């Protein structure tokens, strides 16, 4: 099971008190509370960000589908230009991907269609484009079982995230490129990518994403280091109340 991303550009908040508050809640898995902070704010930007938070909640917890759908319809309704429509379409693709990969409902065709629509709407230099490339890579790898198509999409996302300063998205592209390297038996490359992903998440304080990063790095490390990493991942997983829910199958319970 793969974790996935919403845009990390500016998500740690910078000088914006609202965004700092949203980041603190999101990074600890409090997506509903973070989304509630955006409710008083009008416009497509806040609507898309609110949708993204609730979609991420669905992927990490397997819950909140109706709330995410409602937020998405609102974001689509208030979008006024191609970039806003493209960002909303990117979130529709993500929600459909999450429902499919978690086995809630097969929405693979909807995911592909929505992400294709986003690609047609977003300008080449749009800050949403790297996130779109990453999500198209996820669909290729996990819904179409086509790692050969996923790799160039992840690489485009990685380059775009670097260009736009989207450090959190870089943690996801590092991780998924490392996963493909591991699949190909490239252990040194996999280890490096997983370690970079973990380093970024720890530096940003992205607590809810740290356990998956630890578990991923464990897959590329020999024992006893792998066991130590899995134990730390399990500790964080329990600290956060069993989030992300899909990680449980990848962790060995402590003796």
With both helix axes pointing from N to C terminus, report the angle between 225-239 and 210-218 in degrees, rounded to the nearest 10.
Answer: 160
112: its two tokens:
């592909």
Encode pLDDT of 40-75 as tens digits.
998 999 999 999 999 999 999 999 999 999 999 999
Encode pLDDT of 78-137 as tens digits.
999 999 999 999 999 999 999 999 999 999 999 999 999 999 999 999 999 999 999 999
**Residue 168: CB partners within 8 Å, gap ≥ 6?**
5, 7, 8, 9, 11, 12, 200, 201, 204, 206
Smallest CA-to-CA distance from 94 within 57, 125, 127 is with 57
**pLDDT higher than threshold 50 for residue 217:** yes
Contact 133, 166 (CB under 8 A): no
d(CA 142, CA 136): 10
Contact 157, 169 (CB under 8 A): yes
pLDDT at 16: 85
Encode pLDDT of 158-167 as tens digits.
999 999 999 9
pLDDT at 100: 97
pLDDT at 116: 98
Arithmetic mean of pLDDT, 15-37:
95
With both helix axes pointing from N to C terminus, report the angle between 129-138 and 82-101 in degrees, rounded to the nearest 10.
Answer: 20
> Is residue 251 very low, low, confident or very high in pLDDT (cuts 50, 70, 90)?
confident
Cα dihedral 126, 130, 136, 139 sign: negative
**pLDDT higher than threshold 90 for residue 212:** yes
Burial string for 130-149 (b: 16+ CB within 10 Å, else e) reads bbbbbbbbbbbbbbeeebee
d(CA 101, CA 105): 9
**pLDDT higher than threshold 60 for residue 144:** yes
Average model confidence (pLDDT) for the chain?
93
**pLDDT higher than threshold 70 for residue 252:** no
pLDDT at 12: 58
pLDDT at 254: 43
């Amino acid at each position: 099971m793969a974790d996935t991303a919403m845009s990390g550009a500016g998500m740690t908040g910078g000088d914006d008190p609202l965004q700092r508050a949203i980041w603190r809640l999101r990074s600890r898995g409090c997506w509903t509370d973070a989304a509630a902070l955006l409710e008083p704010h009008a416009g497509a930007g806040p609507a898309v960000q609110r949708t993204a938070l609730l979609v991420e909640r669905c992927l990490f917890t397997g819950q909140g589908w109706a709330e995410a759908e409602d937020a998405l319809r609102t974001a689509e309704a208030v979008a006024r230009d191609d970039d806003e429509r493209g960002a909303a379409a990117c979130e529709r693709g993500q929600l459909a991907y999450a429902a499919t990969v978690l086995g809630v409902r097969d929405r693979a065709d909807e995911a592909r269609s929505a992400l294709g629509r986003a690609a047609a709407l977003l300008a080449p230099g749009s800050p949403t484009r790297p996130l779109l490339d990453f999500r198209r890579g996820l669909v290729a790898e996990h819904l179409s079982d086509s790692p050969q198509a996923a790799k160039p999409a992840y690489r485009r996302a990685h380059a775009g995230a670097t260009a736009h300063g989207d450090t959190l998205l870089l943690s996801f592209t590092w991780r998924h490129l490392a996963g493909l390297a591991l699949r190909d038996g490239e252990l040194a490359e996999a280890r490096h990518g997983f370690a970079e992903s973990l380093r970024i998440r720890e530096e940003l304080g992205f607590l809810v994403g740290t356990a998956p990063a630890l578990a991923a790095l464990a897959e590329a490390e020999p024992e006893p280091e792998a066991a130590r990493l899995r134990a730390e991942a399990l500790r964080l997983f329990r600290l956060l109340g069993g989030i992300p829910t899909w990680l449980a199958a990848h962790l060995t319970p402590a003796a």
